[in-house]
Amino acid sequence: MEKQRLAGKVCVITGGGRGIGRAACELFGRHGAVLYILEFDPASGRETEAAVRAAGGEAEFIRCDVSDHRSVEQAFARIAEKHGRLDVLYNNAGVYLNGPDGPIADITPENWARILGINLNGVYHCCHYGIPLMKKHGGAIINTASSAGVIGIPRCDAYTATKGAIVALTRSLAVEYAKFGIRTNCMAPAGIATEMVKQSNPDGPEFDSVNFFKVRTPSRRFGEPLEVAQLALFLASDESTYVNGTIIPVDGGITVCGDLAKPDADAAELAAAGR
């Protein structure tokens, strides 16, 4: 029988209704977490809750808008009332808005505020209310950045600003709260096969591997949500107790491969070879 790496740990995953968040909820549930799924969309949140429970896990969906501090305060108040503690906070919720986002001179103030409200303020709100529940016993915070937080990517300046800020905030939190036994780390995914990536694809809502080669992906494929969730599981578990303040790309090598806008000469050769 597989060892339960999160047995009895009280865990929060934001944006757990779909994509990477859904994969993480199902994985954490299988590993014994007492799981709280903070999700804005009730249908997907309940769907994830049902899937975790059907697999034998313990999960509760709480409808939550991470951009609204009152909504987040209420969610964590419920967790505090039931458990009085929090062991893992996985700040996964985020948006990329293809169209409303873009070059900074073209982004409206309203769209700028909306994207920062979810992606960056959401992390602030969850840390603000979650960290006090961690201080007595310690725990793990897992933040979600992106390749856009560590390299320059055009046409998504609001998204990039939030992800770069999350990288910097992760380092500050790691220094500030380690004395309480709270570890803070950050994952930087890219090229993961989720609905959000489909919507952000300028060539259409398909996972077209040949076109993806053009943005210089060394692994020559999309990543799967579970591949990110597995890293989150490690960072949440007691196997990573001396890992603090790290920014870990989960991108198949995108961020070490240079200019994402540069066409990849390998694409035609690989296509011709039937790869």
Interatomic CA distance for residues 23 and 90, integer angstroms: 13
Q: What is the DSSP letter of 254?
A: G
Q: Among the listed ranges 118-127, 161-170, 218-227, 241-250, which one has the minimum average pLDDT value?
A: 218-227
The answer to whether 62 and 38 are in contact (CB under 8 A) is: yes
How do residues 236-271 score in pLDDT, each as one tens digit? 999 999 999 999 999 989 888 855 554 555 566 566
As a whole number, the mean pLDDT across the chain is 90
Contact 90, 12 (CB under 8 A): yes
Report yes or no on 273 lying in a domain.
no
- For the beta carbon of residue 85, count every other beta carbon within 10 angstroms: 16
pTM: 0.90
> Does 274 reside within a domain?
no
- From 191, 183, 184, 176, select the one nearest 249 (Cα to Cα): 191
200 inside domain: no
Q: Is 159 a catalytic residue?
A: yes
- List the one residue out of 237, 34, 7, 11 whose CA is nearest residue 134: 11
Domain that holds residue 157: 10-195+222-254
Q: Is residue 263 part of a domain?
A: no
For position 20, what pLDDT does the model report?
Answer: 97
Do the domain assignments include residue 271? no
- In sequence order, the β-bridge partners of residue 143 are 91, 186
pLDDT given at position 220: 76
Are 122 and 66 spatial neighbours (Cβ–Cβ below 8 Å)?
A: yes
pLDDT at 81 over 80: yes
1: in domain? no
Q: Which CATH number covers residue 247?
A: 3.40.50.720
Q: Give the tens place of pLDDT for each residue, 168-220.
A: 999 999 999 999 999 999 999 988 987 766 565 555 555 555 565 555 677 77
Residue range 26-32: average pLDDT? Answer: 98
Count of domains for the chain? 1
Burial of 190 (0-12, 13-18, 19+ CB in 10 A): buried
Smallest CA-to-CA distance from 94 within 21, 152, 45 is with 21
Residue 258: CA count within 13 A, CB half-sphere: 8
Q: Which amino acid is at 174?
A: A
Question: Residue 118: which pLDDT band, with cuts at 50, 70 and 90?
Answer: very high
**Cα(204)–Cα(166) distance, rounded to whole angstroms?**
28
Whether 115 and 154 have beta carbons less than 8 Å apart is answered as no
> Is 73 contained in some domain?
yes
Q: Across residues 84-98, what is the average pLDDT?
A: 96
In whole angstroms, how far apart are CA 228 and each of 25, 181, 248, 273?
Answer: 12, 24, 10, 30
pLDDT at 258: 59
- The one catalytic residue in 36, 129, 159, 177 is 159
Reading the block at residue 218, the tokens are 């060394």
* pLDDT at residue number 261: 53
Taking the CA atoms of residue 61, residue 62, residue 68 and residue 71 in that order, the dihedral angle to the nearest 10 degrees is: -170
pLDDT of residue 157: 96
**To the nearest whole percent, how much of the chain has pLDDT over 70?**
86
Assess whether pLDDT exceeds 80 at residue 116: yes
Query: What does the pLDDT read at residue 222?
Result: 84
Residue 4 counted as domain residue = no
